[in-house]
Amino acid sequence: MFVSYAKVLTAGNLMKEQNAMESKSKQTRNYKVAIISITIILISAILILLSLPGVENFDAFDVTILPMLNAIFNIFAFIFIIGAFIAIRKGNVKVHKRFIYAALVATSLFLINYVIFHFIASSTSFGGTGFIAIVYYFILITHITLAMATIPLVLTSITRAWNQENKLHKKIARWTMPIWLYVSFTGVVVYLLIRPYY
């Protein structure tokens, strides 16, 4: 009887140790400072670049290729986000992650290219008038506003997934995914509307 009681105590201690080890391995990292810092730096850099006049007499290459590349990156981001949505609806987390990382790469390439373009060239004015101008500026304003919101939303969604905070990840991803899709899609629309004026 004493031996069996000792075995129960030992098994109980082992379970406690395993639970302690599991909780240590599941400890979450706090990414809030990094998310806030990255968001502020990116938005500030973009706003500063938009106010700069651009490089005078830049003729190393045709800079109008850069907005076209941005549209291509946005198309890829849109396709990858749709793929991620389909994968997660089918319960395929592995494929979902791959599509999300691919969308993140496409969006990052867009941001890098966007910064380069606005460093080299000044902002292009839309030449349309009337109803098309109203449509263009509505799409542009919502695109820019939601693009700024996308930065912390995407970073928060991804870091919650890294921390395996699945409920919190799903809660914010329900907002992040449609907004990210809208930003990617309208980025292409904005390019198509302003392309004649480059």
pLDDT of 70 over the 90 cut: yes
pTM: 0.79
Q: How does pLDDT run across 36-54, given as a tens digit for each residue?
A: 999 999 889 888 877 777 7
Lowest mean pLDDT among 14-18, 54-58, 86-90, 178-182: 14-18
Instruction: Map out the domains of the chain as residue ranges.
Output: 30-197
Place of tokens 């810092």: 37
pLDDT of 57 over the 90 cut: no
pLDDT of 61 over the 60 cut: yes
Q: What is the mean pLDDT of the chain?
A: 86
pLDDT > 70 fraction of the chain, expressed in percent and rounded: 86
Q: How does pLDDT run across 26-40, given as a tens digit for each residue?
A: 577 889 999 999 999
User: pLDDT grade, residue 125 (50/70/90)?
Assistant: confident
